[in-house]
Structures are given as structure tokens and as C-alpha cells.
Amino acid sequence: MPNSKAFGEAAIENGTASLHSDIKTTAWKDLMALIKIGIVNSNLITTFTGLWLALHFSGQSFLNNLDIVFFTVVGSSLIIAGSCAINNYVDRDIDHLMERTKARPTVTGKVGPVKVLSLGILLIGLGTLSLFFTTITATVIGLLGVFSYVFLYTLWSKRQLVSNTIIGSISGAVPPLIGWAAVDANLDIMAWSLFVLMFVWQPPHFYALAMRRVKEYKAAGIPMLPVVKGFKTTKIHIILWVAALQPLPFFLTKLGIPFLILAIVLNIGWLALGIYGYRIKDDIKWAKLMFVYSLQYLTIIFVAMVIVTLI
């Protein structure tokens, strides 16, 4: 009896010709899709913030450490890009089942599996080498991030555990630690606070996304929380995770009162939106509001960390 993965790959091959005719892309766009450039860019923001804050609180000049900035930015970007490429390689048997992933080069057949896997390994290798020019601590943390995303999440928990999102949040919380450790290997409590902030932010963000894409995740056989437990339970979990964010600003008091007020307002706003959302009978609409807010929240709070240290 053929396994589901083999069956999925056969389906991909059979549909490749029609996909090629319907989807027009360039080599550059295919590369950006393979490395998930959106994820790379969003993680780059948190990496840079960790690096910036470490420089600021250790009294070091940004301009005098441009080499560290360069190697950190390039290294973290490459290992994230490489990890995402390997994720694409592993998920090529199910990506054709989901609307947001069906145009990936691994699905359309424009890039072969071996090339994708080789690209992922090459990028991780180059990224690790780049981080090696900063500190050993940053390099080790980077490799731990790769391990948690590729092995703990992609290869193990994603298709087997309903807690896959929580496990996957480990890798998503690593970038600010990489940035901080590249400057100061003795990780400050603020560095760990950034890690916890990113870790706690991810479940409500991705649960909201999973609610909107629940049919696709179900078709792909991925046991996301709304697929296994339903919308009612998922909404409760989202509210609880957002509630867990509430005390975190008080671990970032070194950033000053204005930032503390901003972070508290953003946290309360997110929690209030979630609770108010229970009055909205349309669960998908509620999930969209929570998802959009989560994106704005992350951008505002990390950009604000940089701005307040410039003033």
C-alpha cells in the first residue's frame, strides 16, 4: 500500500504541467518563495532589534561595530532562509493542497527537490560561518534555531502534534537572542525577555491564521488547533496567550516609561479586541482582526524599541 507522501508527490508530478502554464514566475521570485522571504524579513527585524539593544545597553557604538552588524544580519538571514528552504523540501507533498503554498517552486516542479535541499544546506552553512565571525554563543543559538525549526517542528511535530505551533514558536523566538549574543554573549534578562515576548506572540498569531485556513490545514492533514479542537477552543487559547503577554512590558523597563506605556496599551488593546470579538458571530472575521492586529503589534513594538533608544 503506497504511503500518503508518495501519493502526494505523484499528484504533484501529474499536475506540474498545468501549474506551469497557469503560474508565471521568474527565477528570482522562485528563489524568494523557496526561502520564504517574508519570514526572513520579519525575523530580521527582531534580530536587528536584539543587536541594537545589546549595543545600546553595553555602551558600544553602532558605527564602530558595522562588521558585527553585517555578519549578524547576513548570518541570521541565511540560516533562516536555509531552514525555510528545507521546510519547503519536506512539505512538497502537501503544499499543493493549500492555496497559499500551491504556487511554490517545489510544487510546480520548477525547482527539483535535490536542488532545494542542497540550497537549504548551503545557506545554513554560509549563515553559520558568518555568525562565527561574531560570537560562539550567537553561532550556537543560531544552530539551535535551525534544529528547532527543521527537526522539532518541520520533521517531527508539525504533522503529529496539536502543540506543533507552540514547539515551532521556539525557533521564531530565537532571532533576537542571536542579535543580542552577537554583541554580548552574556545574555541580559532583557535579551531573554525579547525571546519570551516572541515566543508568546506566535501562538495567537498563528492560531488566528489557522482559523482562516482551517479547511486547507485539514485537507493537508496538519493537526492545527482549530482542526483538532475547533474554533471555540482555539479562541480561548488565543485569549490566554494574549493574556500571558500582559506582564512582559515590566521586564523591559530599561527602555523607559514611554515605551512601557506603549507596550501596555498595545497589550491591553489586543486583549480587549479578543474579548470584544466574542460578540462577533463570524469567527473568521474575528480571526482576521486578531491576525492583522498581531502583525501590527509586532512591527510597532520592535520598531519602538529602536526609536526610544535613539531619543
Query: pLDDT per residue over 13-57, tens digit each?
Result: 334 434 443 556 788 999 999 999 999 999 999 999 999 999 999
Residues 6+ apart with CB under 8 A from 181: 54, 134, 135, 137, 138, 141, 187, 191
Cell of 122: 548551503
* Average pLDDT over all residues of the chain: 92
Q: Report how far residue 178's alpha carbon sits from residue 298's, in angstroms, rounded to the nearest whole number.
A: 18
Q: What is the DSSP string of 44-85?
A: HHHHHHHHHHHHHHTT--SGGGHHHHHHHHHHHHHHHHHHHH
Q: Report how far residue 211's alpha carbon sits from residue 231's, in angstroms, rounded to the nearest whole number.
A: 7
Residue 106 in contact with residue 116, Cβ under 8 Å? Answer: yes
Look at residues 27, 26, 4 and name the one whose alpha carbon lies nearest to residue 97: 4
Residue 62 in contact with residue 55, Cβ under 8 Å? Answer: yes
Residue 184 in contact with residue 54, Cβ under 8 Å? Answer: yes
For residue 12, pLDDT beyond 60: no
Band of pLDDT at residue 254, cut at 50, 70 and 90: very high
CA torsion, ordered 252, 255, 260, 261, to nearest 10 deg: -170
What average pLDDT score do residues 102-127 get?
94
Residues 6+ apart with CB under 8 A from 288: 208, 212
**Taken in order 152, 153, 155, 158, is the CA torsion positive or negative?**
positive
Give tens-digit pLDDT for 288-302. 999 999 999 999 999
What average pLDDT score do residues 174-203 get?
97
Q: What is the DSSP string of 141-161?
A: HHHHHHHIIIIIIIIIITTT-
Give tens-digit pLDDT for 51-87. 999 999 999 999 999 999 999 999 999 999 999 999 9
What average pLDDT score do residues 256-271 get?
98
Residue 173 in contact with residue 198, Cβ under 8 Å? Answer: yes
Give residue 209's identity as a one-letter amino acid code: L
Give tens-digit pLDDT for 231-252. 999 999 999 999 999 999 999 9
Q: What percent of the chain has pLDDT over 70?
A: 92
The model's pTM: 0.90
Give residue 114's identity as a one-letter amino acid code: V
For residue 197, pLDDT beyond 60: yes
